[in-house]
Homo-oligomer: A and B are copies of this chain.
């Protein structure tokens, strides 16, 4: 090994994160595609809208806080979702600079229809051989990681 200053143990943990993510996400995306369901990115956005409250409507800005994408990528993604009829774009009433994004009925259905495949994928490609305790440990430990870097996106 060519280095020091970062221990072997830390490095092994890091590699396991990269691998586990690549393998599990890849497999789940494939399942979704083969089942004709929406991809994970779409799911995340629609889910953020559904859980946002009664009207399932969020400002672009707020969506941005939930989704790990650059501003431009999110802007294009919302366009795509709107074209697919899963969300509806509306200029914000209170501030015409803003954009309101609302989940449509079709969007609700897409979310509901994708969940069985998605959850089966999580089970099969991630949770299958983990005990409940191990899941708790992972959640606790990786939770700390997310706090380390406040997910600062571009200007």
Contacts and interface: CB of A to CB of B under 8 A. Distances in A.
B6 A122 contact: yes
Interface stretch (A12-20, A55-63, A74-82, A93-101): A12-20
Interface residues of A, number: 55
A122 B149 CA distance: 12
SS class, residues of chain A in contact with chain B: helix
A153 to B, nearest CB: 9
Interface string A14-29: 1111111111111100
Interface of A: 2-3, 5-7, 9-27, 68, 112, 115-116, 119-120, 122-130, 132, 134-139, 141-146, 148-149, 151
